[in-house]
Chains A and B, each alone.
Chain A
Amino acid sequence: MLDGGLIAARRSALLSLWWDSAVEAFPGETRSFLAREKDRFQNPVGATLRSGLMAILDALLTDADDAELERAAQAIVKVRAVQGVPAGEALAFVFGLKKAARAALGEQAETAGGRRELEALENAVDRLALLAFTSYVGCRERIFAIRSRELQRRTASLLRQTAGVDLSDPGADDLPDSDPDCAFEGGSTA
């Protein structure tokens, strides 16, 4: 029901407001850099945020299914999961969408159509939050698995040689899934 509606019509204003709220998690000096540098290779976090927010919003506006929505959120979550912030802070950007949507609609937020759309979007954001949380946990589990794999790699040769033990390396495919299909930077090329 959001497709082609009031919120969709305000897509770019909404994205810009959502961006502002998402980068609030970063210190001031960093915020301006994230917005300023457009080269995706010189600013991977900014580029991931930019394309990620866009992908999520488009998924929500087109009523995408859970799998697609999770994939859209994955890129940002994967970055936030290693930035040394508590889980709540890492995922705060998700909830920023509610406020941004309301602000983007302005007076239209109080119309019947606006209220209906906001309610639908807010429900979708709740769904998004749960999916993002699932993938955040997936990322964290992957980090733990990677840590033990690194240790194995450092000692595997020694064990083979001194104890004749051949550790079967699980291989990257068998690590806990943080959705390897998903590029953490989905934006355009340089």
Chain B
Amino acid sequence: MAEKTQQELLQIRYTPPRRDWMDPSVDFEARRGSWSYPAAGKNLTYLGFPNPREWSPADEDWKLPDNWREIIYEGFRERLKKFRSLRVFLDTCVRCGACADKCQFFLGSGDPKNMPVLRAELLRSVYRRDFTTAGKILGGLAGGRELTPEVLKEWYYYFYQCTECRRCSVFCPYGIDTAEITMIARELMNLVGLNINWVMEPVANCDRTGNHLGIQPHTFKDNVEFLCDELAEITGLRIDPPINKKGAEILFIVPSADYFADPGIFTFMGYLLLFEHIGLDYTLSAYASEGGNFGLFTSHDTIKRLNYKMYAEAKRLGVKWILGGECGHMWRVIHQYMDTMNGPADFLEVPKSPVTGTVFDHTASTKMLHICEFTSDLIKNGRLKFDPSRNDRYRVTFHDSCNPARGMGILEEPRYVLKSVCNHFYEMPDNTIREQTFCCGGGAGLGNDENMEMRLRGGLPRANAVQYVHEKYGVNLLTCICAIDRATLPTLMDYWVPEVGVSGVHELVGNALIMEGENERPTDLRGEPIGDKEAASDV
């Protein structure tokens, strides 16, 4: 009997049935944990987006409009006309495979449809069948696929599994940007009401109140004051940052998580200490109270709509230029889209540091400067007083967040700042940082709770490199300059490398700054004893 059982065991085939990749079928029920909840109808209604309703991807019937196929074809046609890049990206791929193993979602999950080339092929196959001559004649032989409800469901599954991180594009010899293909696929899905709530709720909130969380001006003020109270306790200094101050020189905009959630709030405290240290004439805004722009994950029109608010507020307040905090996709929007959408911002002046006199010519068109560039310049000119030993409990590494790194080339500045404010800094391996950085796994609206397991998979390559420096150098703090990272990396670390905590760069700046009139600081900004050399993996 035992022998027979053993024989039976040996016969078990663990291989999933082989299927052609073109066969689209996603069992949403079985794959919970790998997809995001759909947008609530109220958010679509608020924004005037089509087909608001309550539904679930696990349902058989997705309650699409009857003519959904025509809507998508028409939308596709329009976009092919409008974006030359789209046609180029769809036409030029030679399927060389250089991008195939570069996506962290493929590396972590092993699902071939997470190879960028196959992800793009989901859209490309429909394009080939219906928008190219060869496809119209040869159909499936030319690699064309009919747009069926199953194909659409597959789009939903895989295009909401791409964080639009652009890692794959770094390796494509033709410069094909799969993130742009994902963006168009999401735009098309939006036309028939296929969107995710973690994107549309922030978009609706941002449209209404100026930030993702729907925080209204009085609460914004309370939040900031609360953080100032905590800061006063730690440093003995009372800082009252101006809010909506007309005529200030600079408007400072941060991602909302920085004044709302751990561990971003410590980064926010760092900004405030920095500005106090140099006596900056700046203002926060309770309306432009969000740097993040989830329009980037929705549609080009939505990017424009949300980005506009920052410039409208700069105009209303009469500031000279805008300084931006440690945000991720805010910078991708500023660097790659703002100028053609809402720019040039002629009513503002080219950013010039009031402390050092440095003029930041590269921002001449957008008039918006990254805080790491601003701080680096201050350090370079010897304007900041630091005691880096206050960060001695940390052995620090830096995660290049996809958007500032690949989207705008902010690579050196955060490193320069970090090396100035802490004594122990270690790089992760070369092929996991800078332009080649791995995504946190939670960008582009995927940082939600229900999709957590997909994030743990997609974040594995990043965590793997952190694990390496943790073992080799004892690294216990992973720093970054993106609010989505600060929200999702702690979770990633909790699973893969629990000894490592997460912080923003300006949190460490705030710790190290020697402020005039401050207390002997017993604790750092987290309230942890400064002399304590223990790791801080609790945030």
Q: Which A positions have Cβ atoms within 8 angstroms of B?
A: 21, 24-30, 33-34, 37, 39-45, 78-79, 82-84, 89, 92, 95-96, 98-99, 122, 142-143, 146-147, 149-151, 153-158, 160-161, 169, 171-173, 175, 178, 180, 183-185, 189-190
* A153 with B465: CB separation less than 8 A: no
With A147-B449, A169-B538 as given contacts, are A41 and B31 in contact (CB-CB < 8 Å)? no
Q: Which residues of chain B have C-beta atoms less than 8 A from A155's C-beta?
A: 261
Contacts of A25 in B (CB 8 A): 14-16
Interface contact B110-A26, CB-CB below 8 Å: yes
Closest Cβ of chain B to A7, distance in Å, is 17
Q: Closest CB of chain B to A189's CB: distance in Å?
A: 7
Asked if B108 is at the interface of the complex by the 8 Å CB criterion, the answer is yes
Say yes or no for B194: interface residue by CB 8 A criterion. no
Instruction: Write the chain B residue with the least CB distance to A95.
Output: B9
Given contact pairs A146-B452, A146-B494, A149-B494, enumerate 8 new A-B contacts (beta carbons under 8 Å). A24-B15, A28-B18, A41-B468, A43-B107, A96-B14, A143-B453, A143-B456, A150-B452
Residues of chain B contacted by A185 (CB below 8 angstroms): 464, 467-468
**With A42-B101, A175-B494, A184-B467 as given contacts, are A30 and B449 in contact (CB-CB < 8 Å)?**
no
- Among B18, B110, B432, the residue within 8 A (CB) of A45 is B110
Q: Are A143 and B452 in contact (CB under 8 A)?
A: yes
B115 sits at the interface (CB 8 A): yes
* Cα of A27 to Cα of B16 in the assembled complex, Å: 7
| Cβ-defined partner of B496 (8 Å) among A42, A151, A158, A184 | A184
In the complex with contacts A98-B9, A157-B265, A92-B491 CB distance below 8 A: no
Chain B residues, Cβ within 8 Å of A41 = 429, 431-432, 461, 464-465, 468
Within 8 A of A (CB), among B475-517: 487, 490-491, 493-496, 498-499
Smallest CB-CB A-B distances: 9 pairs: A172-B498, A171-B538, A44-B464, A29-B112, A30-B110, A82-B456, A161-B226, A172-B537, A92-B14
In Å, the complex CA distance between A10 and B464 comes to 31
A to B CB contacts below 8 Å, 24 in the list: A24-B14, A24-B15, A25-B14, A25-B16, A27-B16, A27-B112, A29-B21, A41-B461, A41-B465, A45-B108, A45-B110, A83-B457, A84-B454, A84-B457, A96-B14, A146-B494, A149-B491, A154-B487, A156-B262, A171-B538, A172-B498, A173-B537, A183-B471, A189-B472
B340 interface residue, CB < 8 Å from A? no
Q: Is A30 a contact partner of B112 (Cβ separation < 8 A)?
A: yes
Using Cβ atoms and an 8 Å threshold, which residues of chain B touch A160? 226
Indicate if the CB atoms of A157 and B260 lie closer than 8 Å. yes
Q: B16 contacts which chain A residues (CB < 8 A)?
A: 25, 27
Q: How far is the CB of B142 from chain A (nearest CB, A)?
A: 21
Q: Is the CB of B499 within 8 A of A172?
A: yes
Interface contact B538-A172, CB-CB below 8 Å? yes
- A33 contact set on B, CB distance < 8 A: 100-101
**A contact patch SS:** helix
Q: From A43, which residue of chain B is reached at the shortest CB distance? A: B107
- Given the contacts A146-B495, A157-B261, A189 and B457 also touching, CB distance less than 8 Å: no
Within 8 A of A (CB), among B71-112: 100-101, 106-112
Q: Are A153 and B452 in contact (CB under 8 A)?
A: no
B33 touches A89 (CB 8 A): no
Q: Name the A residues within 8 Å of B491 (CB-CB).
A: 146, 149-150
A37 to B496, alpha carbons, bound, how many Å? 22
Known: A28-B18, A44-B460, A45-B108. A175 touches B498 (CB 8 A): yes
Tell me the complex Cα distance, A190–B491, Å: 26
Contact A158 B260 (CB under 8 A): yes
Q: Is B361 an interface residue (CB 8 A)?
A: no
Give B residues with C-beta under 8 Å from A: 6, 9-10, 12-16, 18, 21, 31, 33-34, 100-101, 106-112, 115, 222-223, 226, 260-263, 265, 429, 431-432, 449, 452-454, 456-457, 460-461, 464-465, 467-468, 471-472, 487, 490-491, 493-496, 498-499, 537-539
Contact with A89, one of B14, B263, B472, B495 (Cβ below 8 angstroms) = B14
A153 touches B262 (CB 8 A): yes
Q: Which of B109, B454, B471, B493 has the most CB of A within 10 A?
A: B109
Chain B contact residues, majority secondary structure: helix
Assess whether A143 is in contact with B18, with CB atoms less than 8 Å apart: no
Instruction: Closest B residue to A174 by CB, please name it.
Output: B538
In angstroms, Cα B538 to Cα A175, docked, is: 11
**Residues of chain B lying within 8 A (CB to CB) of residue A26:** 110
Question: Does A27 lie within 8 Å of B429, measured CB to CB?
Answer: no
A84 engages B452 (CB within 8 Å): no
Write the nearest CB–CB distance from A39 to chain B, whole angstroms. 7
Query: Smallest Cβ distance from A151 to chain B, in angstroms?
Result: 7
Q: Is there contact, CB below 8 Å, between A27 and B456?
A: no
Contacts A29-B115, A39-B431, A89-B14 known; A34 to B110 CB distance under 8 Å? yes
What's the Cα separation between A12 and B88 when bound, in Å?
A: 48
* Cβ–Cβ < 8 Å partners of A149 in chain B: 491, 494
Contact residues in A for B456 (Cβ distance below 8 Å): 82, 143
A42 near B431 (CB under 8 angstroms)?
yes
Q: How far is the CA of A13 from the CA of B25 in the complex (A)?
A: 38
Shortest A158–chain B CB gap in Å is 7
Structural contact, A40 and B464, CB atoms closer than 8 A: yes
**Alpha-carbon separation in the docked complex, A41 to B104 (Å):** 11
Task: Select which of A95, A154, A171 is within 8 A of B261 by beta carbon.
Answer: A154
Bound: A25/B110 CA distance, A = 10
Residues of A with C-beta under 8 A to B12: 92, 95
Query: What is the CB-to-nearest-CB distance from B472 to chain A, in angstroms, rounded to a whole number?
Result: 8
Contacts of B21 in A (CB 8 A): 29
A122's closest neighbor in chain B, by CB?
Answer: B6
Partner of B453, one of A45, A84, A96, A98: A84
Contact present for B490 and A153 (CB under 8 Å): yes
The complex places the Cα of A24 from the Cα of B498 at a distance, in Å, of: 31
Which residues from chain B contact A172 at a C-beta distance below 8 Å?
493-494, 498-499, 537-538
Please state if A83 and B452 are interface contacts (CB–CB under 8 Å): no
Could you tell me the distance in whole angstroms from the C-beta of B145 to the nearest C-beta in chain A?
18
The closest CB in chain B to the CB of A160 belongs to B226
Contacts of A184 in B (CB 8 A): 464, 467, 496
